[in-house]
Structure 1
Amino acid sequence: MINLNHKYDFWKIKEHQIQRIKESLPDIDVAVYHNKMDDISQMISDAHIYFGWSFQVKWLDVSKNLKWITTPSAGADYIESPEIKESGILFTTSSGYHGYPMAQHAMGFILGFSRGIIYSSRAQTVKQNYRSDVADEFFDIKGTSMAIIGCGSIGTELGKMAKGFGMKAYGIRRIVPNNKTQDDIIWANMDKIPHILQDCKIVVNLLPKLETTFMFFNKEMFQNMNKGTVFINLGRGSTVDEDALLWALDEGIISWCGLDVLSQEPAPVEHPLKNHSRVVVTPHSATFTNYFMDNAVDYFIEQCKKYISGGEMNNIVYQ
């Protein structure tokens, strides 16, 4: 069963993509939930596989045949629940195609800050001459170091882009790859973060929403950073203590901050981070790309073939 309606057109499955699924998986009967006129409870009751943006816990009561739930999202937090975990239903997320737009987004922040573009956009309506200000604000990214915290496929793509700009990228994650210098990244375990932060001008947070990552970036973590650090969060809002971030901004530890996520979304207009002169907030738009659903469908087809053949599945959350 496919349930991929969305208010944004580039995140909504199209008829030609549904047709591609049917042609690629001829042995699977594909049912598509289009709108409220369809009986979603009956469709879920008949389904063995569910592919959607969200899954309501109450649907488990009618999911007598359901064996696998999957989502186009890289994050699990729109679906995961104790009830699904206890149900024994396989739950997977997706990966491999979120990296390019998110890496572009991160580099957009970095270039905007480093070249004085963000500063200029704010000064142009209040100052006649701000060239000297930009001379004080700009910094070279060539030769600088970046720490990518929670570095998976998205961070790997960012590391490749960073190398193209002459930067050094540290990829920090719980389990590092066997080849610690692959993909243009210097890999390190999480316990090395305090030491690595001392070498980095730019810190990019890609951590997912987990109990272990809640307010990971707290006052102590910000104190490990150098004065004038650029901090970017494309992970989840829950991973950052926003009061501590405001403190780090006011202390000059963070010189510029790019946020695609906040603890409350959408955040109110009066949110202090949205009104800070050194912060740019984008509306959780880092994954925006017109190629998203084509890539998502290709990944789903690949996963389905593995599922049918009994192969090793990727991105397992529960099983």
Structure 2
Amino acid sequence: MAIVIIRQDGKIPEWKEALSAASPSIPIYSYLEEHPKEAIEMALVWKHPPGALRPYKNLKCISGSGAGVDFIFNDKEAPLHLPITRVVDQVLAKDMSEHVIGVILAYLKNLYTYKVDQANKVWRPLPYRRMGDYTIGILGMGALGVVLAKDLLHFGFPVQGWSNSEKDIETVKSFVGKNELSGFLSTTQVLVCLLPLTENTTGILNKALFQQLPKGAFVINVARGGHLVDEDLLEMLDNGHLSGAGLDVYHQEPLPVSHPFWAHPKIHMTPHYASVSDTRSVVPQILENYKRLQAGEPLLNLVSKERGY
């Protein structure tokens, strides 16, 4: 009985070392090394190559090593009849929250504009905005969205959230379902996308949605590149309806050097690093699920295949 790690970001040795240190008795393999494929019962994956799970005939569980699992469903050869788990981690959530708050504060205090002015040697003092005057709308109130909402409240931001089910967070207005999306958007001045990527949310950040935001709204996408229609964002920035965007995720990563986002003065980019799973924090829940798998017990953080998250 063993675990195989399948990922393409160069971090397999880091994860292998952390898992082995925490539980030396469990054989841990990289999919790139020689290993007994028939012994593999759990695959720990992150944006694995399509078809990479096919050789493991005795696989019992696919364990995502991050909060998102859309890449698993995108693998047409993945054994989706097996249990799929994801990471629910407070460290990951806090890292995401800190990143988003940093982006919001830089926007409110004109730091992005001043950076452009600096490059152009322009001295241009601008009126700044205060936290209490801007309503932050969180699109997707899962584990990450809830932590962000609570942190924003501590800073004094008015906060509201939209999700498929009502969330009960004191002083955070909850909008639910398609019928309440327009009301949510019309009163949101900074929109933060934290939705899971599913068939229903692919392309949700489009022109029709942007037009429902107040003129001058700022958009932050830290979820998945597939949520955004790139051309629609560019159009709404260029016509002045949106004042700017903070992006951490893209359709193709790394973003091609020819992409217009690189040179756009109203788009502020980071390289998909808003929050990264910390092995020290995540490994215990991975190993707990492995033990539960062996004992035939219910797994933690199971993904709903109907919802896709």
Aligned to 1:313: 300
Over 3 Å counting, the alpha-carbon distance change for 1:21 and 1:188 in structure 2 is farther
Equivalent residue for 1:274, pick from 262, 278, 301 = 262
Aligned to 2:238: 250
2:14 is the alignment partner of 1:49: no
Aligned to 1:25: none
Alignment TM-score, normalising by the size of structure 2: 0.87
Tell me by how many angstroms 1:254 deviates: 1.1
2:28 is the alignment partner of 1:32: yes
Greater shift in the superposed pair: 305-314 or 119-128? 305-314
Q: Which amino acid aligns with 2:298?
A: G
Q: Which amino acid aligns with 1:193?
A: L
RMSD: 2.6
Task: Give the fraction of aligned pairs with identical amino acids, expressed as a percent.
Answer: 25
Equivalent residue for 2:140, pick from 129, 146, 150 = 150
**Alignment partner of 2:132: what SS?**
coil
Q: Name whichever structure is richer in helix by fraction.
A: 1
CA contact (8 A) 1:238 1:262 kept: yes
Q: Which amino acid aligns with 1:273?
A: F
Over 3 Å counting, the alpha-carbon distance change for 1:69 and 1:312 in structure 2 is closer
Structure 2 residue runs without a partner (length 5+): none
CA contact (8 A) 2:50 2:76 kept: no
How many residues are aligned here?
A: 300
Tell me by how many angstroms 1:266 deviates: 1.6
Over 3 Å counting, the alpha-carbon distance change for 1:295 and 1:6 in structure 2 is farther
Aligned to 2:84: 91
Tell me by how many angstroms 1:255 deviates: 0.7
Q: Which amino acid aligns with 1:249?
A: L
Structure 1 residue runs without a partner (length 5+): 23-28
Greater shift in the superposed pair: 57-66 or 141-150? 57-66
CA contact (8 A) 2:18 2:280 kept: no
Over 3 Å counting, the alpha-carbon distance change for 1:8 and 1:157 in structure 2 is farther
Q: What pairs up with 1:1-319 in 2 under 5 angstroms?
A: 1-3=3-5, 7=9, 12-13=14-15, 15-22=17-24, 29-34=25-30, 36=32, 38-40=33-35, 42=36, 44-56=37-49, 58-80=51-73, 81-86=75-80, 88-97=81-90, 98-131=92-125, 134-135=126-127, 138-177=128-167, 180-181=168-169, 185-191=172-178, 192-288=180-276, 292-307=278-293, 308=295, 310-311=297-298, 313-318=300-305
Q: Which amino acid aligns with 1:126?
A: N
Over 3 Å counting, the alpha-carbon distance change for 1:113 and 1:237 in structure 2 is same
CA contact (8 A) 1:155 1:206 kept: yes
Tell me by how many angstroms 1:313 deviates: 3.1
CA contact (8 A) 1:4 1:51 kept: yes
Tell me by how many angstroms 1:287 deviates: 1.2
